Structure 1
Amino acid sequence: MCLVAPAALAQSNFKPGYILPPSGDTLRGEVDYRSEQRNRKLCRFRPAGAAAVTEYQPEQLLGFGYSGGRSYQSRQLPGATAEKAFLQVLALGKASLYLTVRADDREAYYAGPATTGPLELLVQRDTSIVVYNKAIGREINTLERSYPFRSKLALLMSDCPKVQASIVSMELKEQKLLKLFSEYNACVGGSTPQYVVAERKAKVRFSVLGGVYQSEMKVTENDKKLPLEAAWQPTFGVGIVVNPGFFHHKLSAGLQALYVKQSFKNSYTVPSPASSTGLEQKDVRVDFSMVQLPLLLRYTFLEGPVRPYLQAGFQIGAVFQKKAEVVTTRQLFGSSTREIEMRTMITAPVVAAGISLPTGSVGSVQLEARMGWQDSYSQATQALTSAKGLSLLAGYTFGK
């Protein structure tokens, strides 16, 4: 990870595009495809593949864009300090809508009249307040949501009564904003051409994964919980990643199938319940193979060349080729074997953290650490308990 990340950060990803100089002439060539945080402050352009790269700040261009993709305009941001930024265009018309992502990875929406009027920051705010709860008879902390952006939109679109009812119950979500601006511009624009960014469509991608898996659990013997730990074993599998159109663009869902195999073996000397002074030896052996089926929800923090992510979900495990036994040896009494009946299906919550490294339009590489917890591997709830497993995985997801 340490070796790959700096190289990925240094990469450029030029795609066919254009810039709009103050003269108004469109210059076509290639524009570096970067994260929203970076596009906000800088545009990197070259006329052709072998030409030198020129960097432009928002004060130097009217805007830029990618052929068949996102477009940006240089706009003055509201506030006490005069600051310009390249804002992604979401809708243009008598009322226009823009998006940017700040340095702290938070999205900010701006709206204003036409393409040259002053912009307003659209704000939706959650505030922690203390209220008295009659059901439990005491005060509790709760969140109260306020919607300052609604009054700004109502004023901006005051000449179209048709959309005012929608603004009253509006949430600050991109798809709802796009629908509102489209309806308003059609209401007041008549036959005037307007622009609305294409609605996101669902995407399905396939992935392959491989790595190592190690787990541990406890076996109960003579009312004592004895620890068991398996060695690292290979794991591999496949998965699908789904980005529904109605999801936030940083969210995705994934379903995977992973094969794991584990072997536990340990010996203990414990007091014998049959004798106050005697000891007995416990030789514990547990072997199983399992197909894990995790269903995960992923949140990706950034959209740059290195993209950290967190994911969490639920996992079902189908256990097969299973065997668990405890061999008890007592002096003068010999040995006896007790088999532990193992479950065929287990469930577990799962959390993971990793990074994704895009490889252009071909796909992306993932490096991830994942932890899961199981209640019990045995039919008897107190036999094989406190189980948890750690996976270190590398994967490749095909497609952008």
Structure 2
Amino acid sequence: MRTFLRLLPALCLVAPAALAQSNFKPGYILQPSGDTLRGEVDYRSEQRNRKLCRFRPASTTTVTEYQPEQLQGYGFSGGRNYQSRQLPGATAEKAFLQVLALGNASLYLTVQADDREAYYAGRQNTGPLQLLVQRDTTIMAYNQSVGRETKTMQRLYPFRSKLAALMSDCPKVQASIVNMELREQKLLQLFSDYNTCAGGSVQYSVPETRTKVGVSVLGGSYQSTLTQRYDETETELKAARSSIFGVGLVVQPGFFHHKLSAVVQALYVKQEYEKTYQGLVSGGLLGGQMAQRHTVVNITSIRLPLLVRYTFLQGGVRPYLQAGLVGTLQTQTDARVETEVPRFGTDTREIEMRTTGFGGLLGAGISIPTGNVGSLQLEARAEWFDGSSQATKILSGARGLGLLAGYTFGK
């Protein structure tokens, strides 16, 4: 694990260079006069998108930077749209908010500096906005099972009363608000129903999120260790650094949160362990004598990780964490212990190996989009497995550390 943590700074060194890169896409800006100017807009992280718009009329022209006070809004062709709106609060702060729904009641989204999402709602396109809040709090409540007050987690829904007041002229939607959770798809459906009820039409509603699938190719280096227990002697075996490569799928179902995705991979790796050491012989006529041992373990396997990935940011660079389960199919194995006792020769014993295994994986990485083709990944991952030999006390405690680069085709 310490080696794994030492690799993380290497990933962080890549981030500043990636952040400095531009990510221009076809889009537009909406000027204060109401005129639309089309060209290319720089798409970065959501935190940067809310504060700054970088626009150029064409790829060969100069980039102009706009703050929320200087535009009515901007957007990307076939993608996200942003409006400049004043945020509620004591300070008169403006921000570019992502438009989710427009109509008699409008809904907006932004990502704050701490990577938390914030939803805002208001009348039409110019009226004051209200922050929609849902939070968990701890209260003291009587617990009948123990006969006294205990700390209990309670969820509060202040946003429900705000939506009920905002949509008071449409009784049809009030029943939906009573038990509503602060979730994007639920909010979109509510605002669509209300705007149809109140105005007869919906000016705009963000398209429903569709399932996205990307195909990945990966390769890198892999280092692993095993714990061997033999004749009451325990020793650690360290494999030579080897190559690891394979393919995978990155799936983002439409019903997932946009920062979550499922990752399925198939990776080929060959591990070669070899160590010579001194150990005591137990049992038999030679019990208690020192002997020289030579252990050889060769494992060729297919790794099948099934992971959940959480991406912190969206834009020029996208750090992510992932965790999950790993199944192994050992396609070829060779394991033996050679014991050499002075004057008695050498005894070779084969170790019966498993054909399948099971473990866990934890990883961190950085994804860098490369236009509309796909994205480049660099990651470090650590793995732990239940055992490698049929007799689990002989070869156990398998641990692996990988550093991989990959490319995922697909938006």
Q: Same fold (TM over 0.5)?
A: yes
Q: Give, as a single letter, the amino acid of the residue that structure 2 aligns with 1:151.
A: S
1:196-275 matched pairs, under 5 angstroms: 196-274=205-283
Tell me whether 1:29 sits opposite 2:36 in the alignment. Answer: no
In structure 2, the residue matched to 1:289 is: 300
| Shift in alpha-carbon separation, 1:23–1:355, aligned structure 2, 3 A | same
Alpha carbons 2:102, 2:202 under 8 Å: kept: no
Q: Give, as a single letter, the amino acid of the residue that structure 2 aligns with 1:172.
A: L
Offset of 1:61 from its aligned partner? 1.2
In structure 2, the residue matched to 1:172 is: 182
In structure 2, the residue matched to 1:372 is: 383
Structure of greater relative contact order (alpha carbons < 8 Å, 6+ residues apart): 2
Q: Secondary structure at the match of 1:325?
A: strand
In structure 1, the residue matched to 2:347 is: 336
Offset of 1:95 from its aligned partner? 0.7
Distance 1:336 1:87 in 2: 74
1:1-400 matched pairs, under 5 angstroms: 4-129=14-139, 143-190=153-200, 192-274=201-283, 278-400=289-411
Q: Give, as a single letter, the amino acid of the residue that structure 2 aligns with 1:327.
A: E
Q: Secondary structure at the match of 2:392?
A: coil
Offset of 1:381 from its aligned partner? 2.0
Q: Give, as a single letter, the amino acid of the residue that structure 1 aligns with 2:93.
A: E
Alpha carbons 2:319, 2:365 under 8 Å: kept: yes
Distance 2:151 2:326 in 1: 33
Q: More displaced, 133-142 or 68-77? A: 133-142
Distance 1:130 1:314 in 2: 38
Q: Secondary structure at the match of 2:357?
A: strand
Distance 2:53 2:87 in 1: 18
User: TM-score normalized by structure 2?
Assistant: 0.92
| Shift in alpha-carbon separation, 1:353–1:164, aligned structure 2, 3 A | same
Cα distance per residue 1:87-146 (max 9 Å; x no partner):
111001111000111111111100011111110001111224566777789987653221
Cα distance per residue 1:73-98 (max 9 Å; x no partner):
11110001110111111001111000
| Shift in alpha-carbon separation, 1:112–1:370, aligned structure 2, 3 A | same
Q: Specify every segment of 5 or more residues in structure 2 that has no aligned partner in the other structure, as ranges.
A: 1-10
How many residues align structurally? 399
Q: Give, as a single letter, the amino acid of the residue that structure 2 aligns with 1:150.
A: R
Distance 1:266 1:140 in 2: 57
Q: More displaced, 29-38 or 308-317? A: 29-38
| Shift in alpha-carbon separation, 1:240–1:329, aligned structure 2, 3 A | same
Offset of 1:20 from its aligned partner? 1.7
| Shift in alpha-carbon separation, 1:366–1:138, aligned structure 2, 3 A | farther
Q: Give, as a single letter, the amino acid of the residue that structure 2 aligns with 1:396.
A: Y
Offset of 1:69 from its aligned partner? 1.8
User: TM-score normalized by structure 1?
Assistant: 0.95
| Shift in alpha-carbon separation, 1:315–1:108, aligned structure 2, 3 A | same
Distance 2:194 2:115 in 1: 29
Offset of 1:47 from its aligned partner? 2.4
Q: Give, as a single letter, the amino acid of the residue that structure 2 aligns with 1:58.
A: P
Q: Secondary structure at the match of 1:376?
A: coil
Offset of 1:12 from its aligned partner? 1.9
Cα distance per residue 1:228-279 (max 9 Å; x no partner):
1101101110011101000111111111010000111112222232457521
In structure 1, the residue matched to 2:5 is: none
Q: Give, as a single letter, the amino acid of the residue that structure 2 aligns with 1:156.
A: L
Cα distance per residue 1:130-187 (max 9 Å; x no partner):
6677778998765322111111111111111211111111111111110110011111
Q: Secondary structure at the match of 1:393?
A: strand
The alignment's C-alpha RMSD in Å is 2.0
Distance 1:387 1:55 in 2: 53
Q: Give, as a single letter, the amino acid of the residue that structure 2 aligns with 1:374.
A: F
Q: Secondary structure at the match of 1:198?
A: coil
Q: Secondary structure at the match of 2:174?
A: helix
Q: Percent identity?
A: 66
Distance 1:104 1:387 in 2: 37
